[in-house]
Amino acid sequence: MMELSNLNIISFLLIFFIGLPHGSFDGAVASLVGFNTRIQFIKFLILYIFLFLVVISFWLLFPILSLFIFIIMTIIHFGFCDWTNFKIKKYKFPVSFAYGMTIIFGIIFFNEEQSFIIFEYLTSNNIYYYKQFLIIPYFLTTLSLLYFIYLSFYEKKLRIGILEILFLLLVFYIFEPLLSFAIYFCFFHTYKHLKHLINNIYLHISNKTFVLYSTLIFTIISWIGGAVVILFLTQNFNLYESIIKVIFIGLAALTLPHMILVDLVYRKRFN
């Protein structure tokens, strides 16, 4: 069992106050892609909340399957965001795959024991059975990185990515999994996503007040909601386990509607 250390507290605060609010811009994203009227925006909110609740319900019923799906979704979402940051029109899938796999399985590789304690909190003891199969994603990650290096000989923009990946692997080696995830999620993924989004908001949305207030409202709701759920969970779990459940199950529930909106709709129009 793991206890809530000072580094874990820092990780939680980073994710809660820096990483989580980047999804609060989804109201602005919805407006960018066509949910402009009040009725359209209400429909967007209803669908968003519905998908959020579906993920929570599915996780409670099928925790291990949900964890695997969440890992796959995270690889795709992180990878697409990092590929977009290079501002190139080719190599989308190999670059996205290399980044996404490196982030997730880089953290796990350097922190297997601690990572599986987190997975146990999110699922059950049965999760340890799957530890023996990690050689497969490790092998695929290595191949994807080698191919990424190969592509960098032909695309100069990718060369900075090699330095970035090496730096991230060093971070994953030094720090425990929760802080490693927080560093990437808050200072790499969130920064890249908001940089791309804010540029388009400035160019295409005239009502900047709507963007500000919708983002603040969604952020405050997520903060309050997260705090309330943590307090509820501490009645049956320790504080660290309660925080882990809120962070990752909550992120999973937010990631599905966020991915649909950002990766399937927004990126097609503003990539």
pLDDT digits (tens, 9 = 90+) for 149-166: 999 999 999 999 999 999
Q: Tokens representing 113?
A: 């024991």
What pLDDT sits at residue 35?
87
What pLDDT sits at residue 214?
87
**What does the radius of gyration of the chain's CA atoms come to, in whole angstroms?**
19
What pLDDT sits at residue 1?
57
Mean pLDDT of 247-254: 91
What pLDDT sits at residue 69?
96
User: Is the pLDDT at 211 greater than 90, yes or no?
Assistant: no
What pLDDT sits at residue 194?
85
Q: What is the pTM of this model?
A: 0.91
Over the stretch 26-84, which tens digit does the pLDDT of each residue have? Answer: 988 898 888 888 899 999 999 999 999 999 999 999 999 999 999 999 999 999 999 99
Q: What is the chain's mean pLDDT, rounded? A: 91
What pLDDT sits at residue 3?
66
Q: Are 23 and 226 in contact (CB under 8 A)?
A: no
